[in-house]
Amino acid sequence: MSDELKRGLEGVLVAESDLSYVDGEVGKLVYRGYDIEDLARGASYEEVLYLLWHGSLPTRDELDAFTADLAAERAVDDGVLETVRTLADAGERPMAALRTAVSMLSAYEPEEDADPADLDATLRKGRRITAKIPTILAAFERARQGEDPVAPDPELSHAANFLYMLTGTEPDEVSAETFDMALTLHADHGFNASTFTAIVIGSTMADVYSGVTGGIGALSGPLHGGANQDVMEVLQEVDSSDKDPVQWVKDAREDGRRIPGFGHRVYKVKDPRANILEEKLRDLSESSGDTKWLDYTTAIEEYLTDQGLLDKGIAPNVDFYSGSVYDSLGIPVDMYTPIFAMSRVGGWIAHVVQYQEDNRLIRPRARYTGPTESEFVPIDDR
């Protein structure tokens, strides 16, 4: 066995998966063989969930049944909603509130005692979690605003229903389509930190609630799920300054600041998801007549590209445009990462189930660097 240290497990193969593939050299992302651009433009998030969970794109009848089953699970028990209100009143962070609420959902799980090896039951539990996360997040945000939750509408899509529960108003076609595409773009992305966390937990044969709760915890970290919020906060800082975007970035770089939304552990060229969200930001800007965020982001991207960042393999990632898209949809900045979780839960569940089909407990080693012959001294003699 090699004793070579691989910090962060970089480049280490730990499993096989046919769920998603990232080619960072050419900027390509596929889910089960399908190019992300084709899925984002041609399939709904529900279709993508079906693909990830069942291995193929659904027929019309399969999609109708799947969508109806998912919509039927959206309601959240009063006990969970009361906890969500309590957390909102206490000023809890949205990701922490989501982590607590998802963990609490297991108390109301009708198949709580199902054998962990029953992967069909795990998928049904995963469907309930996926359906309820939008309800939890919308209720949390409305509670922060002193408003009652809006009951889910089973006639609306997964994406449109969330926007409806958040605002109390059914979204227009452009907004619903854009948000649906955003969910698809974030649904899976290989063995990222949160997905790997969920898999590690799943490898112990813990239930899927534990895996998803762990995934939320991993995603909450600023090095993983918080970059889109960082981008939006930078854009707001630019907007409140007396500088144009390019001058602001010049000064920020001279001060040693890193510009969020640029660079990725895998992609060496522009993230394909960023291209799609840039287009949708244009659509939203044209629809609203407000092009401010579009103007800022494109100006910053053009400037940094001219500065040679692309030549160094530092290119815009999905976060560079997703924050502006979410802001255009009226979503609060600190809800961006929870929305990431709302999408990525589909990938977490798919990976946990796939790994458990041929399970092996994940148990890496660490190189010990401490003393080996410390002499024990009784407490009264220390």
Judgement on whether residues 132 and 37 belong to the same structural domain of the protein: yes
**325 in Cβ contact with 277 (< 8 Å):** yes
Judgement on whether residues 175 and 304 belong to the same structural domain of the protein: no
- How many of the other CB atoms lie within 10 Å of CB of 272? 22
Dihedral pair phi/psi, residue 255, rounded to 5°: -85, 0
Give the distance, in angstroms, between the CA of residue 341 and the centroid of all CA atoms in the same chain: 4
Dihedral pair phi/psi, residue 326, rounded to 5°: -65, -40
Dihedral pair phi/psi, residue 327, rounded to 5°: -60, -40
196-222 core/surface letters (b: 16 or more CB in 10 A; e: else): bbbbbbbbeebbbbbbbbbbbbbbbee
Assess if residue 192 is contained within a domain: yes
d(CA 263, CA 316) in angstroms, rounded, equals 6
- Specify the pLDDT at position 151: 98
Judgement on whether residues 135 and 181 belong to the same structural domain of the protein: yes
- Specify the pLDDT at position 230: 87
Judgement on whether residues 79 and 214 belong to the same structural domain of the protein: yes
**72 in Cβ contact with 125 (< 8 Å):** no
Residue 264 annotated in active site: yes
| Maximum pairwise Cα distance, the chain | 76
- Specify the pLDDT at position 9: 85
Range of the domain at 298: 227-328
Judgement on whether residues 63 and 102 belong to the same structural domain of the protein: yes
Assess if residue 115 is contained within a domain: yes
Assess if residue 371 is contained within a domain: no
**268 in Cβ contact with 25 (< 8 Å):** yes
- At a CB cut-off of 8 Å and minimum separation 6, what does 115 contact? 121
158, 319, 327, 351: the active-site residue: 319
Assess if residue 269 is contained within a domain: yes
Q: Count the domains in the chain.
A: 2
Judgement on whether residues 215 and 231 belong to the same structural domain of the protein: no
CA neighbours within 13 Å on the CB side: how many for 293? 27
The helix/strand/coil state of 55 is coil
- Specify the pLDDT at position 265: 73
Judgement on whether residues 38 and 141 belong to the same structural domain of the protein: yes
Dihedral pair phi/psi, residue 28, rounded to 5°: -125, 135
Name the H helices within the chain: 36-42, 45-54, 60-71, 78-89, 94-105, 119-144, 158-167, 173-185, 193-203, 208-219, 227-240, 245-254, 272-288, 292-306, 319-328, 336-357
Residue 351 annotated in active site: no
Assess if residue 362 is contained within a domain: no
Judgement on whether residues 87 and 173 belong to the same structural domain of the protein: yes
Judgement on whether residues 111 and 237 belong to the same structural domain of the protein: no
Dihedral pair phi/psi, residue 96, rounded to 5°: -65, -40
Amino acid at 123: L
* Token duo for residue 160: 């449109």
The residue whose two tokens read 């961006």 is: 336
Judgement on whether residues 239 and 303 belong to the same structural domain of the protein: yes
Of 308, 328, 348, the residue that ends a domain is 328
- Specify the pLDDT at position 2: 61
Torsion of CA 285, 286, 287, 289, to 10 degrees: 80
CA neighbours within 13 Å on the CB side: how many for 168? 8
158, 189, 264, 351: the active-site residue: 264
Assess if residue 367 is contained within a domain: no
- Specify the pLDDT at position 188: 97
List the chain pLDDT tens, one digit each, 382 residues: 567 888 888 888 889 999 999 998 888 999 999 999 999 999 999 999 999 999 999 999 999 999 999 999 999 999 999 999 999 999 999 999 999 999 999 999 999 899 989 999 999 999 999 999 999 999 999 999 999 999 999 999 999 999 999 999 999 999 999 999 999 999 999 999 999 999 999 999 999 999 999 999 999 988 888 778 888 999 999 999 989 999 999 999 999 988 888 877 787 788 899 899 999 999 999 888 999 999 999 999 988 888 887 778 788 888 889 989 999 999 999 999 999 999 999 999 999 999 999 999 999 988 999 999 999 999 999 9
The helix/strand/coil state of 119 is helix
Assess if residue 378 is contained within a domain: no
Amino acid at 146: G
CATH number for the domain that contains residue 116: 1.10.580.10
Assess if residue 347 is contained within a domain: yes
Judgement on whether residues 210 and 290 belong to the same structural domain of the protein: no
Judgement on whether residues 119 and 193 belong to the same structural domain of the protein: yes
CATH number for the domain that contains residue 250: 1.10.230.10
